């Protein structure tokens, strides 16, 4: 007789059990989504303990994380407590409940903490809460234990079960991933803030240095020029050296001032009609003696018909000059440097190509960043501050043009920039008028 009834009960119990499991899985999916949507560590920890009390059905919960400085654990969050107070509570790995869980990597149920000598009462005192029973599970990330999640006092004073261990362990492993993500984001934000601060300091330094150095330098230049004209022989040669050094310094300071103007957005263009062949000829004439002294062959490849653009003559000369400076610096003796002008539709492209040391492919974008140099400051053989290309980029973009580099390491580099033939049209196009 009973055999006909029993299977029905069995099926119903099983069905209820399955429904429970599905509901639990759904809850875990929701929890997982909730956890991964918070990247702020403090609110995240609070959220985890709220979820833990909810899922396991306890009065409270807490999270202890490893303190990498002391090697112990600290309370990172607990129900109903102030974070600052908790931070001060350090829990040793040896001789404590959480420490045991952390060390062994195994869950632990203590149904009556008063009978366990490992129970630490400090937290109860600071949270004005009485702990009676604890279920603790390890929080693991990539095989490493990062802390312990504890659920405290099961509601209705019932004992913790295997099911509770399972639920809390699942939550702990999801929480560990979320905590590590939040920590990584926090560390990244901190690093970014430090970088922004360094950037600000560099900018401040540039503006102070360029301003403060200019006046004494013009005095040195003035007097050295005067004295050189008045003197003869070896004395004149020595003064020539002083002048050369001072002019080099002036070049560096000018670069800093230019950069400051570009960065502050106060650089202005003085537009005029420029015939590019004349400009290229002029800048090449400046660099030819230096190039030839280094055994380099510098030549121009330009169209016969004059190519006119509307541009700031001095600024485009500076762009070309910076590119030629690099070509001369980074090309070994016997190499070739070629400057070309190529008219295209609506714009004109100017290139400086060399047969020099070249630039690694993955550095090609970064060389336009200010202060960026492929070779580090400490090991480099070439002079310079890593500002030439960033200034060139700023000046070209001020003209609504574009600048880029192509290079094969060990074979040479080509730097190209474009200028619109009608500058006003380019501005309008860019502003979408």
CB of 99 to ligand ADP, least distance (A): 53
Nearer to ligand ADP, 123 or 319 (CB): 319
Q: What's the distance, CA 204 to chain centroid? A: 21
Collect all residues with Cβ–Cβ distance below 8 Å to 339 and sequence separation of at least 6. Answer: 280, 284, 298, 299, 300, 301, 302, 320, 324, 350, 351, 352
CB 81 within 8 A of CB 46: no
Check residue 357 for interaction with ligand ADP (CB under 6 A). Answer: yes
Binding track over 315-344 against ligand ADP, x by CB under 6 A: -------x---xx--x--------------
Sequence-distant (6+) residues with CB within 8 A of 325 are 287, 384, 388
Which residues are within 8 A (CB) of 299 and not within 5 positions of it... i.e. 6 or more apart? Answer: 336, 337, 338, 339
Residues 369-388 that bind ligand ADP (CB under 6 A): 372-375, 384-388
Asked if residue 220 lies in contact with residue 243, where contact means CB atoms within 8 angstroms, the answer is no
Cβ closer to ligand ADP: 63 or 389? 389
By CB under 6 A, how many residues form the interface with ligand ADP?
Answer: 22
- Nearer residue to ligand ADP within complex by CB, 96 or 355: 355
Q: Restricting to residues 264-323, which ones interact with ligand ADP according to CB under 6 A?
A: 322
CB of 362 to ligand ADP, least distance (A): 13
Residue nearer to ligand ADP on the CB measure, 175 or 353: 353
Q: Which residue, 170 or 373, is less far from ligand ADP as judged by CB?
A: 373
Residue 268: closest CA among 162, 112, 383, 394: 394
Which of 82, 132, 97, 96 minimizes the C-alpha distance to 112? 132
418 binding ligand ADP? (CB under 6 A): no
Q: Does residue 404 interact with ligand ADP by CB under 6 A?
A: no
Nearer to ligand ADP, 99 or 412 (CB): 412
Q: How far is CA 93 from the centre of its chain?
A: 36
The binder of ligand ADP chosen from 41, 64, 354, 355 (CB under 6 A): 354
Q: Is residue 249 involved in binding ligand ADP (CB under 6 A)?
A: no
Name the residue number minimizing CB distance to ligand ADP.
384
d(CA 253, CA 211) in angstroms, rounded, equals: 9
Calculated CA dihedral for residues 99, 100, 103, 107, nearest 10 degrees: -110
Interacting residues with ligand ADP (CB under 6 A): 322, 326-327, 330, 354, 356-359, 367, 372-375, 384-390, 413
């Amino acid at each position: 007789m009973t055999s006909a009834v029993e299977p029905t009960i069995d099926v119903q119990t099983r069905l209820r059990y399955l429904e429970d499991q599905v509901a639990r899985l759904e809850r875990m999916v929701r929890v997982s989504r909730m956890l991964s949507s918070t990247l702020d560590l403090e609110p995240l920890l609070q959220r985890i303990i709220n979820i833990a009390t909810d899922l396991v059905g306890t009065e409270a919960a807490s999270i202890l994380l490893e303190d990498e400085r002391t090697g112990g654990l600290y309370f990172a969050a607990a129900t109903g407590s102030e974070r600052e107070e908790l931070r001060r509570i350090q829990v040793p790995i040896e001789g404590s409940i959480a420490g045991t869980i952390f060390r062994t990597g195994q869950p632990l149920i203590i149904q009556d903490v008063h009978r366990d000598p490992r129970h630490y009462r400090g937290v109860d005192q600071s949270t004005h809460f009485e702990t009676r029973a604890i279920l603790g599970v390890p929080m693991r990330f990539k095989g490493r234990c990062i802390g312990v999640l504890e659920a405290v006092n099961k509601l209705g004073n019932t004992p913790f079960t295997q099911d509770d261990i399972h639920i809390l362990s699942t939550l702990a492993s999801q929480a560990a991933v979320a905590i590590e993500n939040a920590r990584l984001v926090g560390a990244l934000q901190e690093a970014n803030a430090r970088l922004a601060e360094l950037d600000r300091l560099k900018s401040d330094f540039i503006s102070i240095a360029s301003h403060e150095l200019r006046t004494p330098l013009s005095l040195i230049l003035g007097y050295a020029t005067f004295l050189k004209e008045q003197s003869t022989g070896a004395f004149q040669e020595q003064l020539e050296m002083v002048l050369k050094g001072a002019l080099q310094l002036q070049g560096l300071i000018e670069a800093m001032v230019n950069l400051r103007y570009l960065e502050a957005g106060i650089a202005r263009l003085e537009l005029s009609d420029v015939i590019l062949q004349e400009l290229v000829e002029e800048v090449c004439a400046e660099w030819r003696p230096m190039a030839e002294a280094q055994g380099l062959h510098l030549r121009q490849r330009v169209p016969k018909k004059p190519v006119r653009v509307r541009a700031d003559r001095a600024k485009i000369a500076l762009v070309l000059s910076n590119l030629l400076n690099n070509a001369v610096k980074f090309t070994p003796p016997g190499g070739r440097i070629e400057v070309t002008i190529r008219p295209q539709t609506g714009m004109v492209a100017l290139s400086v190509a060399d047969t020099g040391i070249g630039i690694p492919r993955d550095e090609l974008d970064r060389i336009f960043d200010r202060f960026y140099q492929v070779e580090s400051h400490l090991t480099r053989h070439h002079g310079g501050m890593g500002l030439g290309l960033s200034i060139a980029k700023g000046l070209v973009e001020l003209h609504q043009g574009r600048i880029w580099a192509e290079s094969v390491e060990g074979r040479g580099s080509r730097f190209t920039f474009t200028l619109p033939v009608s500058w006003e049209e380019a501005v309008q196009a860019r502003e979408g008028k």
